Amino acid sequence: MKFKFVSLIAFLFVINVSAGHHEHGDHHTKDGKSKEWLIKTLSTAAPSFIGDFASVATYDGKVIKEGTNGWTCSPGRPMPKEGYKDAQDTNASCADIEGFKWVEAYVNGTQPDMKRDAYIWMLHGDVGEDNRVSSLYGGNKENAIKMNHFIESGPHLMLMPKDTKTIENFTTDFTTGEPYQMFKGTPYAHLMIPFEGYYMFQPEAAPK
C-alpha cells in the first residue's frame, strides 16, 4: 500500500454537497480515463454506504463529484497517458479527514497527528507493496518478492491507529489470511484487514 497524492490538503477541506449512484467498478476496462468511469471506479473502492455519498477526486486533487458524508475517494497514482487499465491500476482508496491526515503525514515523512483511529477502504486492491520497514518509500520489487516481503493486495480495509502500540502484537505475516501489521516499528504502522478475494492478484501468498 502506497499513497502519493499531490493535493492532499484539498481533500482535507472538500465541502460535500451532493451524492451519486453507486455501482461496482469493473476490474478490466477499455475506458480508463473518462469522468464517468473514474467516478464509478473510484467510489466503489468503498462499500456503497460510503462510496455512494463520498466526494470523488483525481490524483491531483480536482473534485469531479461532490459528496455529502465527509469521505473522499481518489486514485493513489497518476493517470497514465492512455488511462488506467483497470480498477486495480488506480490504487484507489476512500478515506475521511482523519484518514487523510495519516496519508499526508506518510507522504511528507512526518508524524501522523490524528484525533482518533482512521479507516481507509481499498476494495479494488492495490498495485503491490514491500512490507519491510526499510522499504517504506519503495524498493526493488524483484528483491522483495524473492525475500517474501512483497504483497499485491486484493480487497481490504486498513486501520490507521492513532497509537501504533495498540496494534503492535499483530503479526506481520500476510500469508495467514488474518489481519496483519504493515510497516511495524514506524509511525506509519497500520493494520491490513483482508476481505474475500484478497489473494486474487498473488495467489501464491494465500494460506496453504
**Predicted confidence band of residue 207 (pLDDT cuts 50, 70, 90):** very high
**Predicted confidence band of residue 30 (pLDDT cuts 50, 70, 90):** low
Of 10-19, 71-80, 162-171, the poorest mean pLDDT is in: 10-19
As a whole number of angstroms, the distance between CA 112 and CA 197 comes to 30
Output the pTM of the full model: 0.81
Q: Are 118 and 94 in contact (CB under 8 A)?
A: no
Mean pLDDT calculated for residue range 188-197:
96
Every domain of the chain and the residues it spans: 1-208
* Half-sphere CA count of 152, side-chain side, radius 13 A: 11
pLDDT at residue 14 is higher than 70: no
pLDDT at residue 17 is higher than 50: no
As a whole number of angstroms, the distance between CA 147 and CA 141 comes to 10
Instruction: Look at residue 155 in the predicted model and tell me its pLDDT.
Output: 98
Instruction: Look at residue 33 in the predicted model and tell me its pLDDT.
Output: 78
As a whole number of angstroms, the distance between CA 42 and CA 51 comes to 8
Mean pLDDT calculated for residue range 6-27:
40
pLDDT at residue 169 is higher than 60: yes
As a whole number of angstroms, the distance between CA 33 and CA 96 comes to 24
Q: Is 180 exposed, middle or buried (0-12, 13-18, 19+ CB in 10 A)?
A: buried
pLDDT at residue 36 is higher than 70: yes
Rounded to the nearest integer, the mean pLDDT of the chain is: 82
Q: Are 64 and 74 in contact (CB under 8 A)?
A: no
pLDDT digits (tens, 9 = 90+) for 126-159: 988 766 554 444 444 454 444 445 788 999 999 9
Mean pLDDT calculated for residue range 68-84:
94
Of residues 25 and 151, the one with the higher pLDDT is 151
Sheet architecture: strand order including 55-57: 63-65, 55-57, 72-74, 93-95, 118-122, 156-160, 190-194, 180-182
pLDDT at residue 87 is higher than 90: yes
pLDDT at residue 103 is higher than 50: yes
